[in-house]
Structure 1
Amino acid sequence: MAIDLFRHPRTGLSLSRLGFGGAPLGNLNRRLDDAEAVAAVTAAIDAGASLLDTSPLYGQGLSAARIGTALRRTGRDRVVLSTKVGRILEPARGDAGLGGSGRARYVDALPFVPRFDYSYDGAMRSLEQSLLLLGTDRVDIVLIHDVDGWTHGAEAVDARFAEAMDGAYPALERLRSEGVIRAIGVGLNEAAMAARFARAGDIDAVLLAGRYSLLEQGALDDFLPLADDKGIAVLMGGVFNSGVLATGPVEGALYNYRPAPPDILERVGRIEAVCRRHGTPLAVAAARFPLGHPAVASVVLGMVTPAEVARNVAAFDTAVPAALWSELVAEGLLRPDAPIPG
């Protein structure tokens, strides 16, 4: 099959509707075989999943380095590269912690410590580090990373927002005006903060993780209509809400990076039962659902083996019956105002 493309009118970028998310490639929660991880990137590019997203945070640069290895084999011109700023990497020098990252989830990562820095110079330095790790002379999309209460706490997020808008945002705006990069925006975990950035600046893209899925549609209240009105390309990550919408309500299933609570497991069980009645795997419905919204350009999925790439590509070639979405609405499991995939 050929993966469909979303042509973004603001930037002219052609974004594959299935994107490759680089967070797991940084040894998120487990160590990966290096050759297999690189092979996963190559398989995704060969399959047409040409939007590749990474960040210096992911494995303290390991994700970007693995993507760079794959690009030397496949060719840079075949992909749209997205990276992030807001952290800079410093030599660990025996520091085993993650400094400003806040979550020590990367196993056997590169020997660097990420430190938050949303200043003008910090953004420039972070982008330079990404270029070196990726082994390329250019990226297409640059996102200001993790300016949200999820990461910094409610008491600190306003100061971080001001720092980013006074520092990192003007830096990226300059690079865009000079044609060095094609698109700028933010990558975060909160729809309300995404809307705040969309109102405060002239942004092209938002990578929103976990806030528009079969479990959560709160982004419909404000951010997604605003993005549609402004022509912002939304890259939807975290569509499995950390895993529970992929595994189903099994023991140990994760929701928002933690063990799923009983009410979430019960709701996922009901959603899965509807999917089963319509002959559709839960993970397929979860991956396809966000693409129903006109502002959503791509669903960005983490893939760490060629087999996972093949499964996700097949999911995007699987017809989902319209009756499935209708039953989810009728059962009160999906908001009636949620646009459904055609």
Structure 2
Amino acid sequence: MTVRPFEKRRIAQTELGVTTLGLGGASLAGIFSAVPADQARATVSHALDAGITYVDTAPQYGLGRSEHLVGEVVRSAKPRPVISTKVGRLLKPVDPASQDKGNWVDPLPFDQAYDYSYEGIMRSYEDSLQRLGLDRVDMLYVHDIGTATHGEAGNMPLWSQLANGGYRALRELRDTGRVKAIGLGVNEWEVCMDAFALGDWDVFLLAGRYTLLEQTALSPFMATCVERHASVVVGGPFNSGILVGGDTFNYAKAPDHVVRRVRAIEAVCKDFDVPLPAAALQFPLTHPAVCNVLPGPRSPAELDGILDWWNVAIPADLWQELARRDLLAPGTPVPGISS
């Protein structure tokens, strides 16, 4: 397959540059349905062969499985891609018979314990290096801190851990050169705004909140990222399936008002002979804060489908028509329209 050349964008003010299309490692670990290990490794290899230079993983994904699989491929890659993983969960060995597997079909035999403290983040970083089999990773995200995961009461002590020691650990890792960028990997933009009060961050991996369907993160979060020179990686560009022909939004059955909005967006795309998934994949990159879009294919074939959508040329008139029909939030920066 011939893939149009990937643009590279810099992560904030760091020396890291990534292709605007990345590879997310959650699905490869077998969420909701199993993914054979050989298939997962082949997907990572196929992404690197296609020219993708950024791969994301996390301890949570398959409770260690994703990091093992990603590491097995990227260790021998030349040049090595930019790698990000996450902190905030420590993995504890457990009898598989009593394990809380969550949505993972065949996870490794661990349970997870939340820990955003100085010691917890340093331990998580070292553990990830061992699972990956690498001497370094490039970026560290604080994973799933916030009320969406922990509830308001449950998040308070965990946020205190981050504020009173965890952020210092991340700064220490960055300032000593052990990682090059730090940020948050979350599903809610509000907690990223809270994080700005703790200090400076390089990059936020935000899932599902700045997509063709939903631009709730536009203001104040995305505007603040531009002001504070922080980059945004957009995860979940298909809103968990509704933008690729599925019926799920935020991992639940899409409500009627969401379905109606998707149909209206799709009608505009059809007028321009653009597949809806292609527009969804490329839309986030119209914002100046966004450096990368991070889908999560489960196989080389799924990745080829994504690359096909990536190859579709999107006319600026399509974005402008969506804005004219109030199918984008007011102020959304799209080509040809001043924000």
TM-score, length-normalised on structure 1? 0.93
Find the partner of 2:89 among 79, 84, 87: 87
2:320 touches 2:334 (CA, 8 Å); kept in 1?
no
Q: Alpha carbon RMSD of aligned pairs, Å?
A: 1.5
Q: Does 1:311 align with 2:313?
A: no
CA distance in structure 1 between the partners assigned to 2:335 and 2:185 by the alignment: 24
User: Cα deviation per residue 1:246-295 (whole Å; 9 max; x = unaligned)?
Assistant: 12xx5xx1111111112111211111111111111111111111101100
For residue 313 of structure 1, report the CA deviation from its aligned partner: 2.4
1:146 touches 1:189 (CA, 8 Å); kept in 2?
yes
CA distance in structure 1 between the partners assigned to 2:279 and 2:6 by the alignment: 17
For residue 317 of structure 1, report the CA deviation from its aligned partner: 2.4
DSSP 3-state at the match of 2:313: coil
Moved more, 150-159 or 202-211: 150-159
1:95 touches 1:113 (CA, 8 Å); kept in 2?
no
Report the equivalent of 1:24. Answer: 27
Q: Identity, % of aligned pairs?
A: 42
1:131 touches 1:137 (CA, 8 Å); kept in 2?
yes
Aligned amino acid, residue 328 of structure 2: L
1:289 touches 1:341 (CA, 8 Å); kept in 2?
no
For residue 157 of structure 1, report the CA deviation from its aligned partner: 2.4
User: Cα deviation per residue 1:49-75 (whole Å; 9 max; x = unaligned)?
Assistant: 111111000000111111011113424
Matches within 5 A, 1:181-260: 181-247=179-245, 250=246, 253-260=247-254
Report the equivalent of 1:56. Answer: 59
2:205 touches 2:235 (CA, 8 Å); kept in 1?
yes
For residue 337 of structure 1, report the CA deviation from its aligned partner: 1.1
Following TM superposition, where does structure 1 have runs of at least 4 consecutive aligned residues deviating by more than 4 angstroms? none
Q: Which runs of 5+ in 1 are unaligned?
A: 99-103
CA distance in structure 2 between the partners assigned to 1:15 and 1:245 by the alignment: 25
Moved more, 160-169 or 110-119: 160-169
Find the partner of 1:2 among 5, 9, 12: 5
Report the equivalent of 2:105. Answer: 107
For residue 194 of structure 1, report the CA deviation from its aligned partner: 1.0
For residue 96 of structure 1, report the CA deviation from its aligned partner: 2.0
Report the equivalent of 2:131. Answer: 133
CA distance in structure 1 between the partners assigned to 2:108 and 2:334 by the alignment: 41
For residue 335 of structure 1, report the CA deviation from its aligned partner: 1.8
Q: Does 1:273 align with 2:271?
A: no
Find the partner of 2:285 among 287, 291, 294: 291
CA distance in structure 1 between the partners assigned to 2:328 and 2:182 by the alignment: 31
Moved more, 321-330 or 237-246: 321-330
For residue 341 of structure 1, report the CA deviation from its aligned partner: 5.2
Count of aligned pairs: 332
Report the equivalent of 2:42. Answer: 39
Report the equivalent of 1:101. Answer: none
CA distance in structure 2 between the partners assigned to 1:259 and 1:282 by the alignment: 19
CA distance in structure 2 between the partners assigned to 1:233 and 1:217 by the alignment: 16
